[in-house]
Structure 1
Amino acid sequence: MYKATTWKLPADACELGEGPHFDRETDTAWWFDIVGQNLIEHRFPENLSLVHELPRMASVIARVDAGHQLLAMENGLYLRTKSDGQLRLLAPLEAENAATRSNDGRVHPSGNLWIGTMGKNAEAGAGSIYWFDGHEIRRLYARISIPNSICFSPDGASGYFADTGVNTIWRVALDPATGLPTSEPEVALTEKDLPLGGHFDGSVIDTDGVLWNAAYGGGSVSGFAPDGSLVQTFEVPATQTTCPCFVGAELDKLLVTSAWQGYSTTERAADPGAGFTYVIDGKFKGQADPAFDLKIDDIQLI
């Protein structure tokens, strides 16, 4: 089996690194420090990391076109202009509830978004998972504690999501044209499937349908075949690994974010790699992140 190499990117440690996305056209990765209210940009050609301050917490970023990105923030879904960071509100997201924020999400191959919310203190059952097409936000699942692991099969016919609070990943049949569920979810993976322990956090799926999951508290990323069998596990020098995405010209590498949230001074000293962002050269068979298909004409400028 191929022996991978792993290295740390030259970016500051995040208290809660999350939501990585790779823009293949510009060879640039983006991710968040959610609680730090920062968007981090890493330009691979220059090996340069930049920090963009945000006015509120955010957790998901997706390409819209060459000049714009979709951001999921604690109170809504926004269009971001890359040149100046300007934000335009597309739709509110639990804006009336100051106790919740956005968390894990991903664009379906149809171009529509799945986005989860959760309590800011991870309150049990406080979150939901929604579908957004640029016009409508539709709640798909309620009473989710910590929504994670949102990802989709290459053909768009299957979706996955986790509740980290109960350490379970579900699979659900989808309409490939819209990303909307066509059946009830079924259990795909449970905590006994995690080879190094921890909790299911963010996931991404490769071209073979292998789900690569970052285990929060397990310091690793593991691949699971569509039948649930373990393909391979890669250890990461940070215990609280949070979310992966494919990077590189061939999408054969995996970027993994991590966190030091909740650590005491002693615990942080014992886990010096916590919060940094890593790249695993594991000869992955990645697929590109789909762009969000923006369909709305009238955008409220904020």
Structure 2
Amino acid sequence: MTALSPDAAPELVWDLKAELGEGPVWDAARGLVWSVDIKGRRLHAYGHADGSRQSWDAPDQIGFALPTEDGALICGVRGGLHRFDPATGEFKLVQPVEADRPGNRLNDGFISPDGALWFGSMDDGEMVRSGALYRYAGGELARVDDGYGVTNGPAMSPDGRTLYHHDTLEKLIYAFDHVDGRLSGKRRFAVTGEGYPDGPSVDAAGVLHVGLFNGWGVGRWAPDGTALPILPLPVPAVTKAAFCGPDLKTLYCTTAWLGMDAARRADHPLAGGLFRLRVDTPGLPQALFRG
């Protein structure tokens, strides 16, 4: 199970000041950590080895950006899925999503080992339970679960047989049985105490790591649902932690200042930054989207 390394004190690597930083993901081919600022409508790339930094404007609120087999990124932008070309900085709509739910935006996303894209939607005002879970593969979009307040995830166990997905407003983490892109057996896996469950990742031992919004760290659960000690961070809202670097033992964490007034932001000046820390157990290799 993932444990803190001796040098595990969180390090601020980029003071992004993101209103709603999200979705760190490892791009092994480029040695980059991609992340987004949903409300700021920005896409960011951080060089793991050299600390390089680059940012692009997105067409609208952007929930995730995940690497593809052809070297592009598949991005969840409000209104649909876009293909982003890092060489040109251009976003191109490839699949409209939820034209029938104009109050929604896309949130977190994940690429499963078979190359399929899984992602969720949510009411942008966080008032209506209009969020859903989708699978996009082979050019076909399928709505596989519905009725969420705020979706987050999904993530998958190392053997691919369990998929985790959150209803953040309810503080619920669900588990599903997963076989060949189909889900069944939806059940309650865990309920968060401190903070709200935000973006998840899974390590090679099957431990679920969950960013805790207003929970001051990364929550962890063993495969049997046992709660493990939180990995603390120095800001209240941790939105997601992802295993990055060549050995997949560097945990990059996005954070946010969403919902803070000026006084609270002054008290937490690092909120919205990109942090990293070392862990002993590696994560799972980042799969690539087959589009």
Partner residue in 1 for 2:45:
41
Contact 2:151 2:166 in 1 (8 A): yes
Which deviations, in whole Å up to 9, do the C-alpha atoms of 1:95-127 show, x marking residues without a partner? 343311000111111111111001111123021
Give the number of the structure whose residues are more often strand, by fraction.
Answer: 2
Contact 1:199 1:216 in 2 (8 A): yes
- Secondary structure of the 2:247 match is coil
TM-score under structure 2 length normalisation:
0.94
- Is 2:88 the counterpart of 1:81? no
TM-score under structure 1 length normalisation:
0.91
Contact 1:129 1:139 in 2 (8 A): yes
Specify the code of the residue in structure 2 equivalent to 1:43: G
**Could you tell me how far apart the structure 1 residues matched to 2:74 and 2:15 are?**
22
Contact 1:57 1:101 in 2 (8 A): yes
Which deviations, in whole Å up to 9, do the C-alpha atoms of 1:114-165 show, x marking residues without a partner? 1100111112302111111041111111110100131001121110001001
Give 1:170's match in structure 2, choosing from 158, 174, 183: 174
Partner residue in 1 for 2:202:
205
**Could you tell me how far apart the structure 2 residues matched to 1:58 and 1:147 are?**
14
Contact 1:149 1:200 in 2 (8 A): no
Partner residue in 2 for 1:179:
181
State the shift of 1:231 in Å.
3.2
Partner residue in 2 for 1:114:
118
Q: Quick check: 252-261 or 230-239, which moved more?
A: 230-239
Pairing of 1:82-101 with structure 2 (within 5 A): 82-101=86-105
- Secondary structure of the 1:267 match is helix
Specify the code of the residue in structure 2 equivalent to 1:234: L
- Is 2:58 the counterpart of 1:58? no
State the shift of 1:230 in Å.
2.6
Partner residue in 2 for 1:289:
286
Q: CA RMSD in A?
A: 1.4
**Could you tell me how far apart the structure 1 residues matched to 2:166 and 2:14 are?**
30
Percent identity reads: 27
**Could you tell me how far apart the structure 2 residues matched to 1:128 and 1:70 are?**
18
Matched positions, count: 287
Contact 1:253 1:284 in 2 (8 A): no
Structure 2 gap ranges (5+): none
- Secondary structure of the 1:171 match is strand
- Is 2:140 the counterpart of 1:136? yes
- Is 2:191 the counterpart of 1:190? yes
**Displaced runs of 4+ in structure 1, greater than 4 A?**
none
